[in-house]
C-alpha cells in the first residue's frame, strides 16, 4: 500500500489527481485546460533485501544481485543533505560496487527516493545510467543486514511511455502578466514537496477569480522525473516541454513558483527581477540562493520569463522525498492564507501598471558585479522589462560551486558575471549545460563566452522581446 503514495508522472494516481482538481475548479466556474504530455513513467513493483522490504531508487530497473555487504555491496548514509545520494552512488559505481544500500540517520524516515545516475553529469547531453541496484532501508534494519553479511537484493520496477498532464488555469478577464507555477507529481507522501503547492494554487484560483484578477495558474507534471530521453538533467521536464511548445509566454512578465513553501520565513530566490519584498510583506521571507535551479523556474528562465521561487528547500531536507513528508500541522494553513494574499497583491499590481523599477533594479545589480567594459555595454537599451527578459534567457546559467564529486553542493542559477567574479576569488564552478568545470586559470575563456551571451541578450532586447 505504501507504494501507492507515489504520484509519479504518467501514473494512474496522477491521472486521478488531475481529474479531481480539474473537476473541482470547473465547479467553481474557473477556466481549466488539461494538456497531455508524453512522459516516462517509472514505478516500483517490489523491493527486498533478504526478505526485508526496501525502497528502490529511480530509475533503476528490475534486477537480482547478491554479495558480501561492505565488499561487493556497499551501505551508505544518505547524509544530512539527501542529494548526496547521487554523488555517493556514482562514486561507488566507479569503484566497482555491484549495488548500494542507502539508509537514513533520521530514525523516523523509513523510505526515501532520490534519482541516481552512474554518470557524473547534470546536462542535457548525457543519458542517465543506473544499471546497479540502489535501494533504501530504514536505519533499524541495518544491524541485521550487517550481521548476516551476505545479502541478496531483489528489485522489480517498470518503465513505460505514458501521458502526464499539465493543469493550466486562467483567472480574470484581462491578459495575464503573471504566471503562478507549481507541480503535482511527487515521491512518496510528498506534502511539502509539493502538495503544499497544489493547495496554494487551489485557494489562489478561487481568490483571484472572485477578485477578477488576471493570472495563469499552472501545475506541472514530471517535475521530479519523467523525461522519455532520460537525460541527466532529469527534473522540470514537464514545465520544459510545456513552456517550449504550448505556453504563450510573450505577455508574461513574471513567474512565481511555489515549491516546498510550507513555513515562515519563506526562502525567496529571484532572477530577472528584484524588489518584490514589499508586495510579499504579508508573509515573512528571507533571501536564499538555491531555489531556482531545483525547481520548474529553470524552465521559465529558459524561455525568458523573470521568476521568483518561494520555498523551504533547506528546511525540508530531513524529510525530502520520504514517507515522513506528511501534514506538518495546522500552522501550515495560516501560511497558505498569507501566501495567497501576498501573491494576489503581486498579481493586482501587475494588472494595474508596468513594474519597470523592479526589472531596472535587477539590471543595475548585474551591472554592479560586471567588469567595466561589460557594464557599459548593458546600458545600451532603454526598455528595462525587455532587457531583463533577455538577460534572464541568455545571460544566466545553472551551475554548482565546485565539481560533481563534491558533497553538499547546491545548484544555483547565476549570471555569467557572478561566475566570473567567483572564479576571480579563487572558486571553481561546474556549468551544467556543458558539464565543464571552470577554474581561475580558464577565466579568460569564460569572459569570451559571457561577452557572447551578453551580446545575444542585447540583440534580443533591441528586437523587441515581449
- CA-based Rg of the chain, rounded to a whole angstrom? 22
Q: What pLDDT does 250 receive?
A: 74
Residue 35: partners with Cβ closer than 8 Å, 6 or more residues away: 165, 166, 168, 242, 246
Q: What pLDDT does 246 receive?
A: 77
pTM of the model: 0.95
Q: Which residues pair with 431 in a beta bridge?
A: 399, 436
Dihedral (Cα; 318, 299, 464, 271), 10-degree rounding: 10
Residue 363: partners with Cβ closer than 8 Å, 6 or more residues away: 378, 384, 387, 388, 391
Q: What pLDDT does 444 receive?
A: 87
Asked if pLDDT for residue 349 goes beyond 80, the answer is yes
Asked if pLDDT for residue 27 goes beyond 70, the answer is yes
Q: Which domains occur in the chain, in start order?
A: 2-42+161-355 (3.40.630.10), 46-158 (3.50.30.30), 357-462 (no CATH)
Q: What pLDDT does 465 receive?
A: 54
Q: What pLDDT does 406 receive?
A: 95
- Mean pLDDT calculated for residue range 261-280: 94
User: Which letter does DSSP use for residue 192 in this model?
Assistant: I
Helix or strand holding residue 179 (H, E)? strand 178-183
* Strand boundaries in 78-177, DSSP class E: 99-103, 134-137, 150-171
Helix or strand holding residue 217 (H, E)? strand 215-220
- Mean pLDDT calculated for residue range 236-244: 95
What are the pLDDT digits (tens) for 370-406?
Answer: 988 888 888 756 789 999 999 999 999 999 999 999 9
What are the pLDDT digits (tens) for 297-337?
Answer: 999 999 999 999 999 999 999 999 999 999 999 999 999 99
- Give the C-alpha separation, 36 to 164, whole Å: 6
What are the pLDDT digits (tens) for 160-176?
Answer: 999 999 999 999 988 99
User: Among 94-108, 396-410, 431-445, which stretch is predicted with the lowest mean pLDDT?
Assistant: 431-445
- Mean pLDDT calculated for residue range 438-459: 90
Q: What pLDDT does 29 receive?
A: 92
Q: What pLDDT does 462 receive?
A: 84
Q: What pLDDT does 216 receive?
A: 95
Largest CA distance in the chain: 71
- Across the chain, what does the average pLDDT equal? 93
Asked if pLDDT for residue 452 goes beyond 50, the answer is yes
User: Among 96-105, 113-122, 241-250, which stretch is predicted with the lowest mean pLDDT?
Assistant: 241-250
Q: What pLDDT does 451 receive?
A: 93
Distances from the Cα of 85 to the Cαs of 26, 231, 286, 422, 436, in angstroms? 41, 18, 28, 27, 21
Asked if pLDDT for residue 185 goes beyond 90, the answer is yes
- Give the C-alpha separation, 335 to 465, whole Å: 36
Q: What pLDDT does 277 receive?
A: 86
Q: What pLDDT does 378 receive?
A: 83
What are the pLDDT digits (tens) for 32-67?
Answer: 999 999 999 999 999 999 999 999 999 999 999 999
- Mean pLDDT calculated for residue range 216-245: 96
Q: What pLDDT does 380 receive?
A: 57
Asked if pLDDT for residue 359 goes beyond 80, the answer is yes
Q: What pLDDT does 1 receive?
A: 31
Amino acid at each position: 500500500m505504501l507504494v501507492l503514495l507515489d504520484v509519479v508522472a504518467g501514473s494512474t494516481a496522477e491521472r486521478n489527481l488531475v481529474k479531481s482538481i480539474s473537476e473541482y475548479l470547473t465547479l467553481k466556474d474557473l477556466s481549466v485546460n488539461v494538456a497531455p504530455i508524453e512522459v516516462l513513467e517509472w514505478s516500483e513493483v517490489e523491493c527486498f533485501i533478504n526478505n526485508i522490504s526496501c525502497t528502490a531508487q529511480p530509475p533503476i530497473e528490475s534486477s537480482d544481485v547478491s554479495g558480501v555487504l561492505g565488499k561487493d555491496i556497499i551501505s551508505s548514509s544518505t547524509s544530512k543533505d539527501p542529494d548526496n545520494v547521487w554523488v555517493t552512488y556514482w562514486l561507488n559505481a566507479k569503484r566497482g560496487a555491484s549495488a548500494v544500500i542507502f539508509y537514513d540517520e533520521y530514525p523516523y524516515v523509513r523510505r526515501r527516493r532520490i534519482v541516481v545516475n552512474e554518470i557524473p553529469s547534470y546536462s542535457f547531453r548525457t543519458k542517465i545510467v543506473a544499471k546497479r541496484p540502489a535501494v533504501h532501508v530504514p536505519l533499524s534494519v541495518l544491524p541485521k543486514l550487517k550481521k548476516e553479511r551476505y545479502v541478496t537484493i531483489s528489485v522489480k520496477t517498470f518503465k513505460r511511455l505514458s501521458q502526464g498532464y499539465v493543469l493550466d488555469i486562467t483567472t480574470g478577464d484581462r491578459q495575464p502578466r503573471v504566471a503562478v507555477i507549481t507541480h503535482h507529481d511527487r515521491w512518496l507522501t510528498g506534502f511539502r514537496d509539493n502538495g503544499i503547492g497544489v493547495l496554494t494554487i487551489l485557494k489562489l484560483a478561487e481568490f483571484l477569480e472572485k477578485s477578477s484578477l488576471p493570472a495563469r495558474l499552472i501545475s506541472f507534471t514530471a517535475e521530479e522525473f519523467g523525461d522519455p530521453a532520460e537525460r541527466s538533467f532529469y527534473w522540470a521536464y514537464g514545465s520544459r516541454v510545456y513552456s517550449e511548445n504550448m505556453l504563450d509566454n510573450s505577455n508574461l512578465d513574471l513567474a512565481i513558483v511555489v515549491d516546498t513553501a510550507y513555513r515562515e520565513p519563506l526562502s525567496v530566490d529571484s532572477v530577472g527581477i528584484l524588489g518584490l519584498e514589499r508586495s510579499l510583506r504579508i508573509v515573512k521571507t528571507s533571501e536564499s540562493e538555491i531555489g531556482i535551479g531545483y525547481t520548474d523556474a529553470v524552465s521559465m528562465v529558459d524561455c525568458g520569463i523573470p521568476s521568483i521561487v518561494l520555498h523551504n528547500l533547506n528546511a525540508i531536507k530531513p524529510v525530502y522525498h520520504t514517507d515522513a513528508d506528511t501534514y506538518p500541522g495546522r500552522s501550515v494553513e495560516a501560511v497558505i492564507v498569507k501566501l495567497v494574499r501576498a501573491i494576489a497583491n503581486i498579481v493586482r499590481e501587475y494588472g494595474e501598471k508596468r513594474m519597470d523599477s523592479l526589472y531596472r533594479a535587477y539590471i543595475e545589480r548585474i551591472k554592479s558585479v560586471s567588469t567595466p567594459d561589460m557594464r557599459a555595454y548593458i546600458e545600451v537599451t532603454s526598455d528595462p522589462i525587455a532587457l531583463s527578459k533577455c538577460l534572464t534567457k541568455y545571460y544566466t546559467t545553472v551551475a554548482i560551486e565546485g565539481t560533481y564529486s563534491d558533497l553538499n553542493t547546491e545548484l544555483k542559477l547565476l549570471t555569467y558575471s557572478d561566475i566570473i567574479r567567483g572564479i576571480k576569488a579563487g572558486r571553481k564552478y561546474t556549468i551544467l549545460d556543458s558539464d565543464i568545470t571552470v577554474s581561475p586559470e580558464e577565466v579568460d575563456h569564460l569572459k569570451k563566452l559571457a561577452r557572447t551571451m551578453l551580446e545575444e541578450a542585447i540583440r534580443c532586447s533591441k528586437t523587441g522581446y515581449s
